[in-house]
Amino acid sequence: MLAAKLPCKETIRVVEEPVPVPGKGEVLIKMKASALCRSDLHRYHGVTIFDEDEKAANITPGHEPCGIVQELGEGVTKVKKGDRVAIYLGLGCRTCPDCLKGDVMLCPEFRCIGFAVDGAHADYMKVPEENCLLLPEGMDFITGALATDVGGTLYTACRKVGLNGTKSVVIIGCGPMGSGGILMAKGFGAKVIAVDMDEERLKMAKELGADYVINPGKEDTVKTVKELTEGKGADAAIVTAGGNIPLNSALDSVRARGQVALIAESNSANIDPSNQFVRTLVELKGCWYFNRGDWEEISHFIVDKKIPLKKISSHTFPISEAEKAFPLFDSGKTQKVVFVWED
């Protein structure tokens, strides 16, 4: 089979490898779609994010996959051959309270597919059966792959900040995550104000359903949001762009008792606790991935609301062209790039 490897900094190699054999409790997945993620680019640039060791160069990346169950290991009962499945990226101890609740990403022994074990940028991958998420009828493979991160994470963010048909939300950053946020927020019925410095991204934001767009290079974000919300500020904000300015823009754009979901990661930020939290009762909520038990709710929401998640996939490639796909995605000139496998 073909598999992508990252042997050294900013180097991609597509190699031939044996098809993995599923062990006890594992299944073999024939890949149909596998989305590139910004986390893949950390590995591409030689930056560790999950405490990868020197063996990482031999590990196949890819943690947003979708495919078909090809073979079953001993004792597998939760899926059957031929099932269409997305794959949950988290591996945990299976016994701690967070694992038992489905919040595998909070497990003290958390490991990520594509970082600790071989991932999805290959013709086949093997995973524990509990990581298989059944695709609902009507969900295609690319949508399924995108739903494993963008869809699930942004659905969770929208739910955490209480979006509904009476609420307004500011989405800071209109890259792939922010674009997914626009789609999900519109699915919840919210009024969406999208913010980004890139005019092409703002154009796409409008196409995805954003009610208003703001370019902070041309107008004051906070002032404009207040004007659009009768001086009160938005009910909520979702931050998908990293850095000090996006976070502060979100905190200053929401009303008193507003809710802010933080998805973008950064190591530090300068904030004003008294004016942004204490005297406003604003709540800041971390949002990383989603509870595994929520998959059925998330996937059916996408299908039932006809969320066009595929629109945030701007480019597709066969895995044989991984050496082209990674640099293109790294350029910042695309939305999601997805590897696809045709029958």
Q: Phi then psi for 259, rounded to 5 degrees? A: -120, 135
Show Cβ contacts of residue 220 under 8 Å, excluding neighbours closer than 6 positions: none
Query: With contact defined as beta carbons under 8 Å apart, do 107 and 63 qualify?
Result: no
How much is the pLDDT for 49?
74
Region 44-49: mean pLDDT is 82
Residue identified by tokens 């597998």 is: 76
Q: What is the three-class DSSP state of 297?
A: helix
Residue 297 CA to residue 87 CA, distance in Å, equals 16
pTM metric for this prediction: 0.95
Query: With contact defined as beta carbons under 8 Å apart, do 334 and 342 qualify?
Result: no
Instruction: List the 168-172 sheet strands across, edge first.
Output: 212-214, 191-195, 168-172, 234-239, 254-262, 283-286
Residue 169 CA to residue 49 CA, distance in Å, equals 30
Same fold, 2-134+308-340 and 151-286: no
Query: With contact defined as beta carbons under 8 Å apart, do 174 and 205 qualify?
Result: yes
The secondary element (H helix, E strand) that includes residue 286 is strand 283-286
Give tens-digit pLDDT for 151-194: 999 999 999 999 999 999 999 999 999 999 999 999 999 999 99
Residue 147 CA to residue 139 CA, distance in Å, equals 10
* CATH code linked to domain 151-286: 3.40.50.720
- Cα-Cα-Cα-Cα torsion 196, 238, 285, 110, nearest 10 degrees, comes to -80
Give tens-digit pLDDT for 103-157: 999 999 999 999 999 999 999 999 999 999 999 999 999 999 999 999 999 999 9
- Class of the domain covering 2-134+308-340: alpha beta
Give tens-digit pLDDT for 78-102: 999 999 999 999 999 999 999 999 9
Query: With contact defined as beta carbons under 8 Å apart, do 5 and 13 qualify?
Result: yes
Q: Say what percent of the chain tops pLDDT 70.
A: 98
Q: Say what percent of the chain tops pLDDT 90.
A: 90
Higher pLDDT pick, 15 / 7: 15
Please provide the average confidence, as pLDDT, over all residues in the chain: 95
How much is the pLDDT for 9?
87
Show Cβ contacts of residue 172 under 8 Å, excluding neighbours closer than 6 positions: 178, 195, 237, 238, 239, 240, 241, 246, 247, 249, 250
Give tens-digit pLDDT for 247-303: 999 999 999 999 999 999 888 889 999 999 999 999 999 999 999 999 999 999 999
How much is the pLDDT for 55?
64
CA-wise closest residue to 86 among 27, 24, 132, 35? 132
Q: What is the three-class DSSP state of 115?
A: coil
**CA dist list (Å): 336 to 33, 38, 167, 328, 333:** 12, 9, 28, 10, 10
- What are the sequence ranges of the domains in the chain? 2-134+308-340, 151-286
Per-residue b or e along 267-305, where b marks 16 or more CB atoms closer than 10 Å to that residue's CB: eeeeeeeeebeeebebebeebebbbbebbeebbebbbee
The secondary element (H helix, E strand) that includes residue 29 is strand 26-35
Among the listed ranges 11-20, 49-58, 67-76, 135-144, which one has the minimum average pLDDT value? 49-58
Q: Phi then psi for 178, rounded to 5 degrees? A: -65, -40
